[in-house]
Amino acid sequence: MKTFKVGLIGAGGVTDLHLEGYKGHGDRIEVAAICDPNVEILTRKAEKYGIQQQFTDLNDFIQNSGVDVAIVCTPTSIRKQVVYPLLEAGLPLFVEKPFSDTLADAIEITRKAELLGVPISVNQNFRRHFTFDLVKDIVSKDTIGSVTSIVFNNLFFRQDSGWRLQCERHALSVMGIHWFDGFRQILGSEAVSVASLMRSSSAIECAGETDATVQVAFENGAIATYVQSFSSPFPRTEMIVIGETGTLYCTHRSVELYRQGGKAPAQAWDNDVSRETATYEGLNHLLTSLETGEAAPNSAQDNLKTVAMLDAAYRSAVEQRPILLNQGVLV
């Protein structure tokens, strides 16, 4: 395997997720550079992880870092102004989620990348960090028959700080982007309609929504019902996947199979994949695609269908009606 030189754009908190995940993979990745206009944050991060090249200017990074791949960890509010120069320089990109603030921006970025022939992958690390990939495999083996519905609850208390406080799209943009993507993975199907209700709790300081209920209908007939709260002192993250011959109860770390008439799980599986490990694996999908020429499973093109679900949820809440999609694309 080739060893790729990578450089990070942005030195904020999310970069630790990447840099911790890349440890132990020196045969595959050399973290050669980091770029951030905040000198104090930049220096601290570079010294912590032993990154030799430090840049405060994006164009300087592009011209002089010598990296093979750029990892974009900037806020979505400046995503396009960061991504476009990198694409024009021909640098393949691994981009933090959400891909962009809106579906329109995501489509614009993807089309530009396609025109330039530069691949982009998105860090949908919860595919492995949560039990989505494990459940996908279980479902594919007909363990519970055809899936009829998914019930997902993600409740906890989260007070963000910094740039997120000003975002008009908040809780779903932060967490729903993971869950929508996971539903797609499990079902192997795309959304046909999304209906949602949202509100913002006074318990949390932010411009956007803190609580939401979303229902998604898929092409294969399955329905996903999803509740998100950033204002609940009682925490719970659980997914219930209901099939015609069994039900799966899922958390981050485990999946339990229940059969009709059984009070105890008929079978159980463990899941212990950290966000850091899954982030490395996501980057490696991009690196493998560069070597093979095959599209990465977390490509920008694939991620558009997840962003379309997110965008539809926000539109539904504003317009107070279900939003229709065709093959995962907004109608």
**CATH 3.30.360.10 domain position(s) in the chain:** 130-271+307-330
* Main-chain phi, psi angles of 244, to 5 degrees: -75, -20
The terminus-to-terminus CA distance of the chain in angstroms comes to: 42
How do residues 154-181 score in pLDDT, each as one tens digit?
A: 999 999 988 888 889 999 999 999 999 9
Secondary structure of residue 86 in the 3-state scheme = helix
C-alpha distances in angstroms, 108 versus 100, 230, 310? 10, 30, 16
User: What is the strand order of the sheet 323-326 is part of?
Assistant: 267-270, 254-258, 247-250, 231-243, 147-157, 223-229, 211-218, 191-199, 323-326, 329-330
pLDDT of residue 1: 77
SS percent in the chain: helix, strand, coil, step 5? 40, 30, 35
Q: Which residues contact 104 (CB under 8 A, 6 or more apart)?
A: none
CB distance 256 to 265 below 8 Å: yes
For residue 106, the model assigns a pLDDT of 93
Per the CB < 8 A criterion, the answer to whether 183 and 124 are in contact is no
Pick the CATH number of 4-125+277-298 from 3.40.50.10540, 3.40.1780.10, 2.60.40.420, 3.40.50.720: 3.40.50.720
Q: How far is CA 233 from CA 42, 160, 212, 228, in A?
A: 35, 15, 16, 13
Confidence at residue 99, expressed as pLDDT on a 0 to 100 scale: 83
CATH 3.40.50.720 residue ranges in the chain?
4-125+277-298
Do 21 and 48 touch, CB atoms closer than 8 A? no
The fourth-level CATH superfamily of domain 130-271+307-330 is: Dihydrodipicolinate Reductase; domain 2 (3.30.360.10)
Parts of the chain with a pLDDT under 70: none
Q: Which pLDDT score is estimated for 162?
A: 86
Task: Report the distance separating Cα 43 and Cα 239, nearest Å.
Answer: 41
What residue has token string 């164009």?
A: 59
Q: What pLDDT shows up at residue 98?
A: 80
User: What pLDDT does residue 75 have?
Assistant: 85
pTM attached to this predicted model: 0.94
Rama region for 286: left / alpha / beta (φ>0; ψ in -120 to 50; rest): alpha
Number of Cβ within a 10 Å radius of residue 187: 22
Instruction: Please name the residue ranges forming H helices in the chain.
Output: 14-22, 39-49, 58-64, 79-88, 103-116, 126-129, 132-140, 171, 177-187, 275-292, 300-319
Q: Sign of the C-alpha dihedral, residues 153, 157, 195, 182?
A: negative
Measured between alpha carbons, how far is 228 from 222 in angstroms, rounded to an integer?
A: 20
> Strand pairing partners for 194?
216, 323
Q: What is the pLDDT of residue 305?
A: 95
